[in-house]
């Protein structure tokens, strides 16, 4: 089931929902690739970035100073021209902010996945893997708490908030530099990378053994499908000579009555029975049920999944063959 406002909206597929999770991670990968491709070295700029000491060392020969910059860049794995053009005492701390923002993007995507999976676990449609001897709850032995996904959400929240550190450092760095950026940077940047690493390890573990319950999914779909198939049912009845405007109103009334029975009485959705018993529709229950096939209501979802795998994911897998077989063990 696909939802808007966390209310049943239209049928979709498990695969389509998975592509939504994966596509955000693809966006994160593209952002990281961009950051790596555009990262520049500070080079040799001197105490306040003026290169005054190098002017003295090389007798004012600017070409030699530029050559030293290029040489150091090459030694450190950068392209010779990948040197920042100007700086104060340090490279701009916006670079740190950009990098942590890229890592926080991973946290956003992983938290979205983990939150969705926690909700689906509540619906009993999907859940994270559960070890043979794992304790689901210290107090309630029947429970299977989604502890891995909860951990992803906790660490993701930390990483997303960590982005504020280099942001404030950048905005409050007095003139060419003050030392109050150093202590913060040593903690914020290191822990940002550690948090991202931990999040991705848990993601590997969860996605490696994710559990899907097709029968529960179908049961939940069938409970909502009579509402979503109203237009199809109406068209069936119109083809048999029914009045569209009249049928629309009668469908609305039947839907309200069926919804009331579900919500107030705790009884099953009997909308199909109500329509079959209404002579205005001229449809048998068998005719109505025959049209309630979830697969007929998912649009292009299956094709979208196939196209996404072939056109988006497969090129990434082909470019990173070592990454495809990565696994992560977790103590829970």
Decide: 82 and 41 in contact? Cβ < 8 Å. Answer: yes
Q: What are the Cα distances from residue 176, in Å, to 48, 82, 88, 173, 180? A: 6, 21, 5, 7, 12
Residues 5, 327, 329, 331: which is the catalytic one? 5
How many residues in the chain?
332
Task: Determine whether 87 is an active site residue.
Answer: no
Residues 53, 71, 137, 219: which is the catalytic one? 137
Task: Determine whether 137 is an active site residue.
Answer: yes
Q: What are the Cα distances from residue 97, in Å, to 113, 160, 175, 195, 199? A: 24, 12, 18, 16, 19
For the chain, the first-to-last Cα distance in angstroms comes to 30
Please choose, from the candidates 106, 99, 94, the residue with its C-alpha nearest in 3D space to the C-alpha of residue 35: 99
Q: Which residues share a beta bridge with 8?
A: 3
Distance of CA 203 to the CA centre of its chain: 11
Query: Angle CA(311)–CA(316)–CA(318) in degrees, nearest 5?
Result: 100
Catalytic positions, please? 5, 137
């Amino acid at each position: 089931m696909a939802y808007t406002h966390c209310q049943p909206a239209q049928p979709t597929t498990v695969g389509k929902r998975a592509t939504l999770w994966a596509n955000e991670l693809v966006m994160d990968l593209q952002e990281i690739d961009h950051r790596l491709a555009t990262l520049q070295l500070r080079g040799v700029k001197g105490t306040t970035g003026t290169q005054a000491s190098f002017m003295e060392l090389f007798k004012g020969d600017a070409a030699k100073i530029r050559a030293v910059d290029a040489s150091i860049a090459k030694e450190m794995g950068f392209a010779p021209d990948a040197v920042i053009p100007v700086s104060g005492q340090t490279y701009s701390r916006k670079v740190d902010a950009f990098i942590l923002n890229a890592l926080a993007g991973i946290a956003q995507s992983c938290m979205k996945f983990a939150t969705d999976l926690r909700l689906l676990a509540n619906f009993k449609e999907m859940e994270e893997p559960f070890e043979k001897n794992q304790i689901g709850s210290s107090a309630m032995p029947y429970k299977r708490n989604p502890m891995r996904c909860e951990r992803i959400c906790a660490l993701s929240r930390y990483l997303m908030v960590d982005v504020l550190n280099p942001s404030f450092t950048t905005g409050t760095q007095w003139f060419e530099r003050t030392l109050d950026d150093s202590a913060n940077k040593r903690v914020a940047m290191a822990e940002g990378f550690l948090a991202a690493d931990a999040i991705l390890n848990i993601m590997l573990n969860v996605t490696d053994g994710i559990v899907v319950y097709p029968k529960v999914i179908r049961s939940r779909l069938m409970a909502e499908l009579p509402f979503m198939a109203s237009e199809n049912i109406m068209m069936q009845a119109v083809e048999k000579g029914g009045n569209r405007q009249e049928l629309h109103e009668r469908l609305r009334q039947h839907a309200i009555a069926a919804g009331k029975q579900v919500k107030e009485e705790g009884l099953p959705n009997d909308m199909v029975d109500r329509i079959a018993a209404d002579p205005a529709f001229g449809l048998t229950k068998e005719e109505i049920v025959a049209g309630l096939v979830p697969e007929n209501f998912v649009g292009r979802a299956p094709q979208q999944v196939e196209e996404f795998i072939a056109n988006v994911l497969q090129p990434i897998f082909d470019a990173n063959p070592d990454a495809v077989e990565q696994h992560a063990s977790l103590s829970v």
